[in-house]
Amino acid sequence: MAPIANSLYAAGISHETAGPEILGRFGMPQAACSFAESGILQIGGVSEALALSTCNRVEIYFSAASDGLADAVFESLYGADAEDFKKICSVKKNAEAISHLFAVASGLKSQMTGETEILGQVKAAYERARGLGHCGPTLNALFQKAIHCAKWVRTNTEIGRGKISVGSVCAELALRIFENISKAKILLMGSGEVGKLVADALYVRGASNMLVCSRTRANADALAEKIGCRSADFAAAKENIEKFDIVLCASLSREPLLKKADIEAACKKRGGRPVFLIDLAVPRNIEEDCGEIEDAFLYNLSDLSKIANENIAARKAEIEKARQAISTRANALAARLGLP
């Protein structure tokens, strides 16, 4: 392949550099990612663009004629907030950008090392951007090879031993709280992809008394039908929080769904029986000071990552094996594309 004239850039923030509030501030739903890419491609000298936005990272991959165009990309994305984004964002170029995406897709950059959901998110972002014509020779080669690399890592190493995912780790936490999960009354607030993963993981582990609610009742009904549980109006479920032993929140809401006053009232009605709150959202759905309430126990994504990484020492050799494979493949692609 002839060398690519433009350089490749990967710019963004992740759980390693920003908290959930910041990630939530700059995160984008899929429709917004497509719109953002279209705006970036209006910049002279930028020929390709792809936005990857998940609960743990917001990254823009683009091909551009010079380093100085990064500022224009940030301004296109965030306007008046571009300077705030620029202060905390990391920009990688060419071979470093390739290696970064390979590691991201393989789960090495995830908050839960080795988790399996990120590969699906990378593939979905690529398929969306490619379908819109936002990818050219550089990004097509980059994402195709990143997906191939991640599959090799999954097949030939054991960094994801135990099928690590938000759903499986959340279910593991629930099992630690209730040895017999079938007896726990569980409320799931949120009907998106994360909510479905958690619900599926709980269901296969024996959770039978589960209620799903969403700000859009039709979405709650659809998820409940898929997993075989009940659904409810959001307001009605929130008013009856005290009836549940475990409350999981996985909504895209920009504002907290549950505040300290809500949980204090629920705990009083529970008569000393503890309630376990699991917040899977970015930004957070449950006010952080709910964890200060005597009979309420609050867990978030950071707590789940600790569970997922408990056996990290045992997986150290596998992680190093994955890193070496990523380095070899990233360097090979950089040479093929003529990117230093």
pLDDT tens digits, one per residue of 65-77: 998 899 999 999 9
- pLDDT tens digits along 64-109: 999 889 999 999 999 999 999 999 999 999 999 999 999 999 999 9
Question: Is residue 252 in a domain?
Answer: yes
DSSP 258: B
What is the token pair recorded at 285?
A: 């759905």
**Average pLDDT value for residue range 153-160:** 86
Question: Is residue 183 in a domain?
Answer: yes
Question: Is residue 251 in a domain?
Answer: yes
Question: Is residue 1 in a domain?
Answer: no
- Note the helical H segments in 41-179: 69-78, 82-88, 95-105, 117-131, 137-156, 166-177
What is the token pair recorded at 97?
A: 């950008």
Of 33-37, 253-257, 305-309, 322-326, give the lowest mean pLDDT range: 305-309
Helix/strand/coil for 161: coil
pLDDT of residue 340: 82
Question: Is residue 191 in a domain?
Answer: yes
What is the number of other CB atoms lying within 10 angstroms of the CB of residue 133? 11
Examine the pLDDT at 2 and tell me if it is beyond 80: no
User: Which residue segment(s) compose the domain that 40 sits in?
Assistant: 7-161+317-337
pLDDT of residue 146: 97
**Average pLDDT value for residue range 179-195:** 87
Are residues 233 and 153 both part of a single domain? no
Are residues 148 and 198 both part of a single domain? no
Is residue 278 within 8 Å of 173, Cβ to Cβ? yes
Q: What percentage of the chain exceeds 90 in pLDDT? A: 66
Helix/strand/coil for 10: strand
DSSP string covering 264-310: HHHHHHHTT--EEEEE--SS-SB-GGGGGSTTEEEE-HHHHHHHHTT
Are residues 229 and 125 both part of a single domain? no
- Annotated catalytic residue 33: no
CATH, residue 256: 3.40.50.720
Examine the pLDDT at 162 and tell me if it is beyond 70: no
**Average pLDDT value for residue range 140-165:** 87
- For the chain, give the number of residues: 340
Are residues 11 and 156 both part of a single domain? yes
pLDDT of residue 107: 92
Are residues 54 and 92 both part of a single domain? yes
Q: How confident is the model at residue 161 (pLDDT cuts 50, 70, 90)?
A: low
Are residues 25 and 155 both part of a single domain? yes
Q: Rounded to whole angstroms, what are the CA distances from 203 to 173, 174, 196, 218, 243? A: 14, 12, 10, 21, 19
pLDDT of residue 3: 47
Strand order in the sheet with 57-64: 46-53, 57-64, 7-14, 90-93
Amino acid at the residue 189: M
Examine the pLDDT at 1 and tell me if it is beyond 70: no
Examine the pLDDT at 163 and tell me if it is beyond 80: no
Are residues 113 and 224 both part of a single domain? no
Question: Is residue 2 in a domain?
Answer: no
Question: Is residue 59 in a domain?
Answer: yes
Of 16-30, 160-174, 236-250, 281-295, give the lowest mean pLDDT range: 160-174
Q: Which of 60, 48, 62, 122 is nearest to 85 (CA)?
A: 60
Are residues 138 and 178 both part of a single domain? no
pLDDT of residue 256: 93
Are residues 135 and 262 both part of a single domain? no
Is residue 9 within 8 Å of 43, Cβ to Cβ? no
Question: Is residue 293 in a domain?
Answer: yes
Query: Exactly one of 55, 170, 213, 229 is catalytic; which is it?
Result: 55
pLDDT of residue 4: 52
Amino acid at the residue 265: A
pLDDT of residue 311: 64
CATH, residue 57: 3.30.460.30
pLDDT of residue 315: 76
Please say whether the dihedral angle defined by the alpha carbons of residues 227, 232, 233 and 239, taken in this order, is positive or negative.
negative
Max mean pLDDT among 15-19, 198-202, 203-207, 327-331 falls in 327-331
- pLDDT tens digits along 194-225: 888 888 888 888 888 999 999 899 999 998 89
**Average pLDDT value for residue range 296-311:** 84
Q: Rounded to whole angstroms, what are the CA distances from 219 to 210, 212, 233, 283, 284? A: 16, 9, 10, 20, 20
Examine the pLDDT at 154 and tell me if it is beyond 50: yes
What region, left, alpha or beta, does residue 212 occupy, with left being phi > 0 and alpha being psi -120 to 50 degrees? beta
Is residue 290 within 8 Å of 277, Cβ to Cβ? yes
What total number of domains does the chain contain? 2
Q: How confident is the model at residue 298 (pLDDT cuts 50, 70, 90)?
A: very high
Are residues 177 and 297 both part of a single domain? yes
pLDDT of residue 26: 95
Supply the angle between the helices 137-156 and 316-337 in degrees, to the nearest 10.
160
Are residues 205 and 263 both part of a single domain? yes
Are residues 210 and 326 both part of a single domain? no
